[in-house]
Structure 1
């Protein structure tokens, strides 16, 4: 995110509680930041929607940085996931900003954007925690975590307990439920009769592969490929 984009987003946050993630907010942010509106629109072509997505990505980046700075080796894996979700939620500066975003992405035209944003958060958590799955588990892990994350955010928005303790208790219960499912799945894998009964679905699921990730071009040692010859 460029410095100008960061400046616009910072200026927008002051207006979101009043005008939501809207075009009016973008206009006000551009005015406050002394940036020509046409230039602001170049950074956020869809106005408030792109502002809201930039705010979400900023929270993701803050979470990843905080997790990377900690030694999590002493934690059980379920506790690492709980910490990651809590860290991501706490990265939000203000509940009203999140509440306004939730309202925006509940609208049918923007629901796909909201779903992609939540999936991206779940993917980033698993990737940051070192997930190396490449089969259908890549999808099930992220789908399950996306459900846990989104339900916890909704609970947090209405939580008035001290230090949001009720939210973190809710998160623990949700993760415990996921872990119970994983134990059942593991038991099925070890049972030859159940494995045989599920051979068909397992064959279909085995065709699912994790999407290939684009190579990072900002790392030392990267050499760009030669241009394709035209002719």
Structure 2
């Protein structure tokens, strides 16, 4: 997950303006001015303007989370504790609450929602990869989809949490992880029960044939977000966001 120094500098210049103007064209223009970057270079780095800066902000959080996870003794933890610590590390990596608050609205816009969804999926994927997930069937998808839901709901709760040291958020996270563990326990019970195993033989066979997507080396081109259809999302590069 490569960070372009120039784009990071542009992002740093944008963040003080996000609380007032959101992830907008005005913020992008202010970032160009405050960073003293040539406009042509800024638009080469971020063809979709503030949208690319919002993506860079999210990806910065993912990188900081991974750094925190590398410093943890994950091998000594159970799966539940690993996942809990990872989600908490991702939230604690957030450097600007207002930027996230504005981002939830920004990525709820119809044109931006597919990218926001991919970003949250990417966070869940990064967590499972960091935790050493080896699933190569349908579980690859269910693990990431479930964790993406846990992460997304916990962030929304965290944004409105006024408790000391976000204690209520971490309690909420524990409850969501418990819900996930119930699903895993149910799957284990099906596997252990001959009757249920027979009843679910068809769906289990189908899921066993599902394979995760091939890992394609990331191309860190300016303004690039994983996905082939980004250009069709309605953003006008000449206007920013």
Q: Same fold (TM over 0.5)?
A: yes
Report if aligned partners of 1:16, 1:25 keep a CA contact under 8 Å in 2.
yes
Matches within 5 A, 1:94-113: 94-113=96-115
Matched, 1:150 2:158: no
Report if aligned partners of 1:26, 1:40 keep a CA contact under 8 Å in 2.
no
Matched, 1:54 2:56: yes
Moved more, 36-45 or 141-150: 36-45
TM-score between both structures, scaled by the size of structure 1: 0.91
Measured in 1, the distance between the counterparts of 2:167 and 2:45 equals: 38
- Residue 216 to residue 118, structure 1, CA distance change in 2 (3 Å): closer
* Matched position secondary structure for 2:134: coil
The total of aligned residue pairs comes to 217
Report if aligned partners of 1:82, 1:172 keep a CA contact under 8 Å in 2.
yes
The CA deviation string for residues 77-113 of structure 1, in whole angstroms up to 9 with x for no partner, is 1111111101101111121110100000111111100
TM-score between both structures, scaled by the size of structure 2: 0.87
**Corresponding residue number in structure 2 for 1:183:** 185
Instruction: Work out which structure has the larger RCO, using CA pairs closer than 8 Å and 6 or more positions apart in sequence.
Output: 2
Matched, 1:167 2:169: yes
Measured in 1, the distance between the counterparts of 2:14 and 2:35 equals: 9
Measured in 2, the distance between the counterparts of 1:134 and 1:206 equals: 9
The CA deviation string for residues 46-84 of structure 1, in whole angstroms up to 9 with x for no partner, is 111111110000000010011012212222211111111
**Corresponding residue number in structure 2 for 1:77:** 79
Matched, 1:124 2:126: yes
Report if aligned partners of 1:139, 1:210 keep a CA contact under 8 Å in 2.
yes
Q: Find 1:196's aligned residue among 198, 217, 228.
A: 198
Matches within 5 A, 1:30-41: 30-41=32-43
Report how far residue 32 of structure 1 moved.
0.4
Q: Where has structure 1 moved over 4 Å in runs of 4 or more? A: none
Report how far residue 34 of structure 1 moved.
0.6
Moved more, 4-13 or 69-78: 69-78
Matched, 1:16 2:18: yes
Unaligned 5+ segments in structure 2 are 220-241
The CA deviation string for residues 162-214 of structure 1, in whole angstroms up to 9 with x for no partner, is 01110000000100111011001100011111111112222222221011213
Measured in 2, the distance between the counterparts of 1:75 and 1:96 equals: 33
Measured in 1, the distance between the counterparts of 2:169 and 2:5 equals: 34
Q: What RMSD, in angstroms, separates the aligned Cα atoms of the two structures?
A: 1.3
Measured in 1, the distance between the counterparts of 2:185 and 2:72 equals: 28
